Structure 1
Amino acid sequence: MTGPRGERTSGRLYGVGLGPGDPELVTLKAARIIASADVVAYHAGVGKQSNARRIAAGFIPAGAIEEELRYPVTTGATDHPGGYAGAMAEFYDECADRLGAHLEAGRTVVVLAEGDPMFYGSYMYMHDRLSERFETEVVPGVPAFAAATAALAEPLVRQTDVLMILPGTLPEPELARRLADTDGAIIMKLGRTFPAVRSALEQAGRLDGALYVERASMPEQRWLPVADVDPATVPYFSLIVVPGDSKPDIDDSLHESTGIAELLVVGLGPGPDHWLTPEVERALAEVEHVVGYGPYVERVPQRAGLQRHASGNTVEVDRARLALDLARKGERVAVVSGGDAGVFGMASAVFEAADDPMYDDVEIRVLPGLSAVQAVAARAGAPIGGDFAVLSLSDRLKPWSLVESRLRAVSEADLVLAIYNPASRSRTTQVADAKAVLLEHRSPDAVVVIGRDVGRAEESLTVTTLADLDPAGIDMKCLIIVGASSTRVTSSGRVWTPRSTPAEE
């Protein structure tokens, strides 16, 4: 970058990928840029020599200024008032200041990065802090997992296989879930995380095909099955390759059951694990397949021998047929729903799909779950202590005119009303429309309870009136309870509806 008289007004920043460790895997472009640098910066661990500096040693010019960026902490233990995150943020700020001074002076600064600069690399934090102020270029490098698969000579993914890159620092249940759901996987960031990663592989049924690679492309390179690795010997420069070919297949050759096949349809409750019934928990521990909408499938803990089949939110009958087909082959299958499966859940879709005579030999068993209306009502007090109705505002499976007529009928009957599916990204007017219909027959002072994410960390509960109900504050995470004329609010804000109703004179 030059000024009006041709003078250099600032330097240029390069993030240069060095590849996995073998200097011969450094690209020609990377070598050329390093050789022309005024400043060469590289990160180093506590008490360790920089591996990036070692890889690039043969390319660094004799007159270059070297900036060693030594981490203050690498294990997560620190007495910094901001904890590990605070210590690292302060470190990266200091590094950016040091490099920024060189750039302001017009120098070309190269930040060395093992593997690829934008792949789990420390260069990214310099990029975040400096790229808006200085001209910047990123030079890609061969990522470590490419070197690992080359060392194994093992195909990673084929054709339409899905590949996941996973950090070993993920919580063990989450890592197991993701491993079970993908075809091929690479697990980075091992070292102290190895025991939990091995356990996650076992839970996901992927341990047998998983391969451990240490220091890929370096002279000390070695690989062996994960099951044979001594956890005490695992360094940071290691990773695990889970080839797509190793994913267990559904055995389509299983003969159809000669007895009565069974399909379970279970309610997971509104969210918290402690609201899962013991009956459902036992069932999920025994099935071989879980079928359902993605977010609900994710709530089922991964374990060895469990295959999960997640799908979108508008293919209920299709996923029901998949579950029925698996059950007909003798597989133990559970279809999962949030809340109670029989309340706007998958139970109805399963029975709809099972109406086909080909599924006559499949016995469907529905296991109840705690419903959202029960959870919200309990948080509010006892608003459904008397007669009440439950209605969905979604017009995806029924016309809005029918929703309106049912709202009027409930209002005329003076029933407490629980409203499911009040709004979504594509349905933004229904709450306002429903409010207008309800006000035709119900007092503006009618009690309204709004429960959002009840049972979760983000839970909120609002008690208001029908007149003050704000449609703009309602989304798909909400359930609304509109009280009857007899519904009351205590001085402490608890809502309840008497069980008795006086006879009309």
Structure 2
Amino acid sequence: MSARLGRFAGVGVGPGDPELITLKAARLIRDADVVAFHAGVGKQSNARRIAADLIPPGVVEEELRYPVTTGATAHPGGYAGAMAEFYAESAARLAAHLEAGRDVVLLAEGDPFFYGSFMYMHDRLADRFPTEVVAGVPAFAAATALVAAPLVRQTDVLTVLPGTLPEAELARRLADTDAAVIMKLGRTFPAVRRALEQAGRLEHALYVERASMPTQRWLPVADVDPASVPYFSMIVVPGDTLQADPHGRRATATPSTPDTAVVAEVVVVGLGPGPERWLTPEAAAVLAEVDHVVGYAPYVHRVPQRAGLQRHASGNTVEVDRARFALDLARAGERVAVVSGGDAGVFGMAAAVYEAAEDPAYATVPVRVLPGVSAVQAVAARAGAPVGADFAVVSLSDRLKPWPVVQQRLRAIAEADLVLAIYNPASRSRTHQVADMQQLLLQHRSPDTVVVVGRDVGRAEESLVVTTLAQLDPASIDMKCLLIVGATRTRVAASGAVWTPRYVD
């Protein structure tokens, strides 16, 4: 092994035009002992083609040819297994040169860290050898230069999206951003086009093919033949094509003058705890008809995007402001739904809408509330039947009520021997409430009282723990949890199910 380790460099060579290679990248390529590059199945390396005139004669070249692209493979680990093995073997080949003291340059199309294969070599080699990364011009920069359309300006937000995202998720993200770049087209193009249409972004979306290469071209996405789309293509959705106010900010709906508008209703919708199958048909029908969806951002994101739907997401502490905005839209004749997780009437947006609607200005705006599956119902069903008898529901959040009031209510519930369902048990800024609740309840309940802890029930990360009041670990509880504290009669069946008898001895 050489006393000197070779230097490893990931060099961006830009999107296709050799003149877009940076001076630093050119110098490193000319000085390299080894020039490595990736190549597709049955294809020549595009990165090597771009840098061909810079590669010195006699330099060692390492072609890293992919074993598979997206097609079928006989590898026992499938596509992921085949690629992991390929990257490991490629890293070993480059490491042998570096250990021998040879400087290795790995060419990367565009920028090395922008959807590039270089990063997988970086993961395997950077902690073993001196490593340098040279930025390159990304393909989307060449694309926007070609179409001569400003991508973002002032406070516009740019989102870069892979076309391989599920269609509904792609549509949602397109609707929620000012400007977008969509990579990885090819066979994904038909679904991407549908997502653009659903998000109301198709009209101004621009298709760019082989940006900065001799065969480059661009045209509106609506005019593209899906059968003609190669991998070296992308879609640009410029931010300044959106309606903006005089300050350049993206415009939201502007209600018309109330006395000339046809007043519509505000429908408050409970989305359930998470899974689409727990959304009621009634709620789904309303969401498919309204023009606007208003709510806390994570809940708005759960509503499928479609053509004509405008989404208005906001933070978690502006419920009444959000309600007023929805009421203003309805007063101007816009069809609007306000969304909540679980049931909108259980610590949700329904109460906030009615609070805002007390303003005489909204006297003519009807409000309708649709029920949803509540979190307590979901957790109770997973556990068995812990709320099969009388029960109470309390939020431990003291944002809207003083903590002594919460303690007073907990004490009364404990003395009444009711099953207790607890919402909002803890957050990053509220860390003592669960421990305080535990100590208060232990003054009235047995340490063996059954406690159910449900986290993310109905979602992929779902967990359910059955413990006791004494063994409950407050440090393990966060905002994703809902707790059910049993009554004296609550028991655990031989099957592990938790239930509370309907009768009292």
TM class by shorter chain equals over 0.9
Is the deviation greater in 153-162 or in 445-454?
Answer: 445-454
Equivalent-residue separation in structure 2 for 1:438 and 1:455 (angstroms) = 28
- Displacement of 1:252 in angstroms is 2.0
Instruction: Name which of 65, 85, 93 aligns with 1:90.
Output: 85
- Displacement of 1:8 in angstroms is 6.2
- Report the AA paired with residue 482 of structure 1: V
Instruction: Name which of 302, 311, 314 aligns with 1:299.
Output: 302
Q: Does 1:354 align with 2:349?
A: no
**CA RMSD, 1 decimal:** 1.7
Equivalent-residue separation in structure 2 for 1:408 and 1:251 (angstroms) = 47
Superposed CA offset, 1:100-138 (max 9, x none): 111111112111111111111111111111111111111
State the partner residue of 1:119.
114
Superposed CA offset, 1:139-159 (max 9, x none): 111111111111101111111
- Displacement of 1:24 in angstroms is 1.3
- Cα distance change on mapping 1:448 and 1:8 into 2, 3 Å: closer
Instruction: Name which of 449, 474, 486 aligns with 2:489.
Output: 486
Q: Does 1:241 align with 2:236?
A: yes
Q: Does 1:500 align with 2:495?
A: no
Instruction: Name which of 125, 128, 150 aligns with 1:130.
Output: 125
What SS does the aligned partner of 2:256 have?
coil
Question: Are 1:37 and 1:110, in contact at CA under 8 Å, matched by a contact in 2?
Answer: yes
Q: Does 1:231 align with 2:234?
A: no
- Displacement of 1:46 in angstroms is 0.4
Q: Does 1:192 align with 2:187?
A: yes
What SS does the aligned partner of 1:48 have?
coil
Equivalent-residue separation in structure 2 for 1:50 and 1:258 (angstroms) = 61
Q: Does 1:274 align with 2:269?
A: no
What SS does the aligned partner of 2:428 have?
coil
- Cα distance change on mapping 1:451 and 1:253 into 2, 3 Å: closer
Instruction: Name which of 265, 273, 288 aligns with 1:285.
Output: 288
State the partner residue of 2:14.
19
Equivalent-residue separation in structure 2 for 1:251 and 1:381 (angstroms) = 45
Question: Are 1:202 and 1:303, in contact at CA under 8 Å, matched by a contact in 2?
Answer: yes
Q: Does 1:44 align with 2:39?
A: yes
State the partner residue of 1:325.
328
State the partner residue of 1:70.
65
State the partner residue of 2:153.
158
- Cα distance change on mapping 1:250 and 1:473 into 2, 3 Å: closer
Instruction: Name which of 75, 83, 89 aligns with 1:80.
Output: 75
Q: Which runs of 5+ in 1 are unaligned?
A: none
- Displacement of 1:430 in angstroms is 1.2
What SS does the aligned partner of 1:467 have?
coil
Equivalent-residue separation in structure 2 for 1:434 and 1:75 (angstroms) = 54
- Displacement of 1:99 in angstroms is 1.1
Instruction: Name which of 219, 222, 235 aligns with 2:214.
Output: 219
Equivalent-residue separation in structure 2 for 1:210 and 1:122 (angstroms) = 28
Equivalent-residue separation in structure 2 for 1:140 and 1:280 (angstroms) = 49
Q: Does 1:148 align with 2:143?
A: yes
Equivalent-residue separation in structure 2 for 1:490 and 1:19 (angstroms) = 65
Aligned positions, number: 497
State the partner residue of 2:175.
180
Q: Does 1:102 align with 2:87?
A: no
Equivalent-residue separation in structure 2 for 1:253 and 1:422 (angstroms) = 38
Question: Are 2:425 and 2:478, in contact at CA under 8 Å, matched by a contact in 1?
Answer: yes
State the partner residue of 2:448.
445
Question: Are 1:324 and 1:354, in contact at CA under 8 Å, matched by a contact in 2?
Answer: yes
State the partner residue of 1:254.
256
Equivalent-residue separation in structure 2 for 1:494 and 1:57 (angstroms) = 68
Q: Does 1:389 align with 2:384?
A: no
- Cα distance change on mapping 1:251 and 1:320 into 2, 3 Å: closer
Instruction: Name which of 251, 254, 265 aligns with 2:268.
Output: 265
Is the deviation greater in 348-357 or in 260-269?
Answer: 348-357
Q: Does 1:378 align with 2:373?
A: no
Q: Does 1:343 align with 2:338?
A: no
Is the deviation greater in 240-249 or in 413-422?
Answer: 240-249
Superposed CA offset, 1:372-396 (max 9, x none): 1111122222222221111011111
What SS does the aligned partner of 2:132 have?
strand
Instruction: Name which of 199, 217, 228 aligns with 1:204.
Output: 199
Instruction: Name which of 406, 409, 412 aligns with 1:409.
Output: 412
Equivalent-residue separation in structure 2 for 1:8 and 1:464 (angstroms) = 60
- Displacement of 1:498 in angstroms is 2.6
Q: Which runs of 5+ in 2 are unaligned?
A: 244-250
What SS does the aligned partner of 1:261 have?
coil
What TM-score, normalized by structure 2, do the two folds share? 0.95
Superposed CA offset, 1:187-225 (max 9, x none): 001111111111111111111111100000111111111
Superposed CA offset, 1:265-310 (max 9, x none): 1101111111111110101001111111111111111111111111
What SS does the aligned partner of 1:187 have?
strand
After superposing on structure 2, the runs of 4+ consecutive aligned residues of structure 1 that deviate more than 6 Å are: none
Is the deviation greater in 422-431 or in 228-237?
Answer: 422-431
Q: Does 1:310 align with 2:313?
A: yes
- Displacement of 1:338 in angstroms is 0.5
Superposed CA offset, 1:297-349 (max 9, x none): 11111111111111222221222222222222221111110110110111111
State the partner residue of 1:431.
434
Question: Are 1:338 and 1:345, in contact at CA under 8 Å, matched by a contact in 2?
Answer: yes
Question: Are 2:295 and 2:322, in contact at CA under 8 Å, matched by a contact in 1?
Answer: yes
Q: What is the percentage of aligned positions where both structures have the same residue?
A: 78
What SS does the aligned partner of 1:157 have?
coil
What SS does the aligned partner of 2:267 have?
strand
Question: Are 1:206 and 1:246, in contact at CA under 8 Å, matched by a contact in 2?
Answer: no
- Displacement of 1:493 in angstroms is 2.4
